[in-house]
Amino acid sequence: MTLEILTSDSLAPLRHGFFTRRGGASSGVFAGLNCGLGSSDQTEIVMINRARVARAMEVAADNIVTVHQVHSAEVVHLTGPVAERPRCDGMVTATPGLALGVLTADCQPVLFADARAQVIGAAHAGWRGALDGVLETMVAAMEGLGAVRGDITAVIGPSISQAAYEVGPEFIEAFLDADPDNARFFANGRDGRYQFDLPAFGLHRLRQAGVGLAEWTRHCTYEDAARFYSYRRTTHAGEADYGRQISAIRL
Name the CA radius of gyration of the chain, rounded. Answer: 17
CATH number listed for the domain at residues 5-161+197-249: 3.60.140.10
pLDDT at 88: 98
Distance CA 78, CA 158 (A): 25
Question: Of 9, 11, 55, which is closest to residue 33 (Cα–Cα)?
Answer: 55
pLDDT at 191: 92
- The residue type found at 158 is P
pLDDT at 1: 72
| E-state strands within the chain | 5-6, 16-19, 64-65, 75-77, 90-93, 99-104, 108-114, 119-125, 153-156, 166-167, 186-188, 194-196, 213-216, 245-249
- The residue type found at 119 is V
| 139 burial level (CB within 10 Å; 0-12, 13-18, 19+) | buried
Distance CA 146, CA 113 (A): 12
The pTM assigned to this predicted structure is 0.97
pLDDT at 33: 98
Per residue of the chain (251 residues), give pLDDT as tens: 799 999 999 999 999 999 999 999 999 999 999 999 999 999 999 999 999 999 999 999 999 999 999 999 999 999 999 989 999 999 999 999 999 999 999 999 999 999 999 999 999 999 999 999 999 999 999 999 999 999 999 999 999 999 999 999 999 999 999 999 999 999 999 999 999 999 999 999 999 999 999 999 999 999 999 999 999 999 999 999 999 999 999 99
Q: What is the DSSP letter of 68?
A: B
- The residue type found at 183 is A
pLDDT at 211: 98
* Domain ranges for the chain: 5-161+197-249
CB 222 within 8 A of CB 232: yes
